[in-house]
Homo-oligomer: A and B are copies of this chain.
Amino acid sequence: MTDAPMTAQAASTATAGDILSSHLTALAGAFLRALPLAVGEVGGRPGASVLPSEGTADLLRAVRRISGLLTTFSATFEPVWAQESRTELAWLLNLLALEPGYVRRSARLLGALDGLSGSEAEGPGMLAGHAGAPKARALLDRQLTLARTRAHSTVLQELRSARLHALADRMTLLVAEAPLAESAGGRAGAVLVPQAAAAFGALAASAQQLPLQRASTPYGGDGLRRLGVVPSARGALDADAALAADDAPWHRTRGLVKRARYALEVCGRPSAVLDELDLVLLRHQEASEAAVTAATAARTPRITPATAYVLGVVHADQRLEVEAARYAFGRRWPELPPGTETWLELPPAEGWGASAESRTA
């Protein structure tokens, strides 16, 4: 993945700055190689591929990791530079995620509708032959295509902006040298381990706030009812706000899972468990967003009752997916010991470079 240009020899005496610089140099290089490809791909769309094209995927991968490292090991970098870089990377991340997000949401919702209405080979669903199914499908397709087209224009425009050029310049500088803080001169283990441990601590604290006990019993209906109470300004109950509030802690946890994943990568540790949790929470987030889209579509004026009925089934089906993802997370979430060190099990400082090296193999 990242070409950390470091030998085992050099690594044994590596400073925190050496380790991070080698990772960031490789990631910034990947960023600069992927950027023109990604820009070209966006210009060549809109195709309806579910997965982002290769250049965009590579770019997203680099952006997420650079951003993650700048966050997790923030004490090691020049603070103003790190903060600005994170802001700009977050902007690009959101921008690039926009259009593929709509493509995936469309695939998810139309796939769910097809499964429920039984045009799939696996057997009919509870909406098979329902007059509202093709209408609801057309409505969802139309609304998501429109949203995607709008997103596409926004992305095209922003990819020609001075802001992106400035970010590319920032990455070019990073290939040469990361602006480090004084503490970066310390030994890798002593400087980086506590910061990585803090990222794991934040993840553990966030997961501890989740209703995992409730989620661990399947079919509790928790994605559909018994949502976190959100007293609205007008005193009225608002399902959208309640659903959003119920899902938010899970979305936050996903962000922290990602940070912990990237920290493990820097430590040269396998991150399979976290990769899996990340996927589960991605499924949670996408189902949550798809549910909102279905509910919003059901509010379209002048739709038929049959269409609305089908959208109600699809909405509930996606909330069921939310609940299923929570159950899967609850089953997979490892029981963290009170101290996070045990989970992290960092190698001795000498091991860092070697493991970084082995990852490049």
Contact = CB atoms under 8 A, between A and B. Distances in A.
Contacts of A238: 128-129
A358 to B, nearest CB: 37
A238 to B, nearest CB: 5
A126 B223 CA distance: 8
Contact of A126 (B126, B218, B224, B308): B224
Contact of A305 (B130, B239, B305, B321): B305
B128 A239 contact: yes
A164 interface: no
A134 interface: no
B303 A224 contact: no
Contacts of A124: 225, 227, 229-230, 237, 239, 242
A227 B125 CA distance: 6
A347 B129 CA distance: 54
Interface in A100-138: 115-116, 118, 120, 122-130
B128 A221 contact: no
A313 interface: yes
A118 B314 CA distance: 20
Contacts of A218: 218-219, 324, 327
Contacts of A321: 219
A236 interface: yes
A270 interface: no
A319 interface: yes
A54 to B, nearest CB: 32
A323 interface: yes
Contacts of A237: 118, 124, 128-129
Contact of A313 (B116, B120, B230, B315): B315
Interface in A313-337: 313-317, 319-321, 323-324, 327
13 contacts: A115-B221, A123-B227, A125-B239, A126-B223, A127-B239, A129-B237, A221-B317, A224-B320, A309-B315, A310-B312, A311-B312, A313-B316, A316-B317
Given A123-B242, A298-B305, 7 more contacts: A124-B225, A124-B229, A127-B239, A219-B219, A306-B308, A308-B309, A311-B312
Which 10 residue pairs are nearest across A and B when measured between Cβ atoms? Answer: A312-B312, A219-B324, A218-B218, A316-B316, A305-B308, A125-B225, A128-B237, A308-B309, A309-B312, A129-B237
